[in-house]
Amino acid sequence: NAGVTQTPKFQVLKTGQSMTLQCAQDMNHEYMSWYRQDPGMGLRLIHYSVGAGITDQGEVPNGYNVSRSTTEDFPLRLLSAAPSQTSVYFCASISSTRFTEAFFGQGTRLTVV
Amino acid sequence: AQSVTQPDIHITVSEGASLELRCNYSYGATPYLFWYVQSPGQGLQLLLKYFSGDTLVQGIKGFEAEFKRSQSSFNLRKPSVHWSDAAEYFCAVGAIGYQKVTFGTGTKLQVIP
């Protein structure tokens, strides 16, 4: 099993550019989440999804969009990148039938200049 | 709303010394509690978890944690620290039902010879 796969691993954007961070899981998990990690602030929830077609906002959703057309994929879109979005982004998935833990991808390090 | 507090931002211990990392949580019902470790440039790896039952849980790499409901705490311990334990440690609380996981701000562990 590959688990949770995030691409790309690194990305540099110019202010105002848009891009999509990809996240795919092969564990058939219903729940998927996006977090951003900033020094001294831990992991903060951006958006999450409880199943295909259902998404909701976390604590820091502004400037980000998500969609969930399939169980496997949960892409995160930056509409117009800003320097404040420079961060490390983690995707996670959790089983809905057996809540044991969150399985994380390796992260995407994004720099907005 | 659920929340997690890790009061120590940075801890330095000597190799071979014992370790205790503090975690306090706020949650309305019986929580699902986790400790994750993050090595530099890596994703998060689960160390241990508590759902119910025995309040002392054993994890990987020789770590253990004790759930104390009266103190709303879930402190992580290790009897003898190794240099390879240097990393950042995150405590997290989970809510069953929609599998939302809230993380603390992390404690960075430095191990000195």
pLDDT digits (tens, 9 = 90+) for A18-75: 999 999 999 999 999 999 999 888 899 999 999 999 999 999 999 999 999 999 999 9
- Interchain pair B103, A43: CB under 8 A: yes
pLDDT at residue B97, rounded to an integer: 67
Integer Rg of chain B from CA = 13
Residues paired with A66 in a beta bridge = A76
Contact present, B106 and B89 (Cβ < 8 Å): yes
What residue type is B113 in one-letter code? P
How many A/B residue pairs have CB atoms within 8 Å? 53
pLDDT at residue B40, rounded to an integer: 85
What residue type is B27 in one-letter code? Y
**CA-based nearest residue in chain B for residue A89:** B43
**CA-based nearest residue in chain B for residue A94:** B99
CA distance B89 to B40: 11
CA distance B45 to A8: 20
- Interchain pair A99, B98: CB under 8 A: no
- Give per-residue pLDDT as tens, A74-89: 999 999 999 999 999 9
B9 at A interface, C-beta within 8 A: yes
**Residue A100 pLDDT class (50, 70, 90 cuts):** confident
Closest CA to B76 of B101, B49, B54, B99: B49
- Interchain pair A45, B9: CB under 8 A: no
Q: What is the pLDDT along chain B (113 residues), one digit of tens a residue?
A: 789 999 999 999 999 999 999 999 998 777 899 999 999 888 899 999 998 888 999 999 999 999 999 999 999 999 999 999 999 999 999 877 667 789 999 999 999 99
CA B10 to chain centre: 14
Q: Is the dihedral angle over the CA atoms A75, B38, B42, A41 positive or is it negative?
A: positive
Tell me how long chain A is: 113
CA distance A78 to B5: 30
pLDDT at residue A2, rounded to an integer: 72
**CA-based nearest residue in chain B for residue A102:** B101
CA distances from B16 to A96, B34, B67, B87, B107 (A): 40, 24, 24, 16, 19
Residue A93 has pLDDT above 90, yes or no: yes
Residue A48 with chain B: CB contacts under 8 Å:
98, 100
Pairing of strands B10-14, B107-112: parallel
Contact present, B46 and B36 (Cβ < 8 Å): yes
**CA-based nearest residue in chain B for residue A107:** B43
- Interchain pair B90, A42: CB under 8 A: yes
A34 at B interface, C-beta within 8 A: no
- Start-to-end CA span in chain A (Å): 36
Contact present, B110 and B10 (Cβ < 8 Å): yes
CA distance A39 to A37: 7
Contact present, B35 and B43 (Cβ < 8 Å): no
Residue A74 with chain B: CB contacts under 8 Å:
none
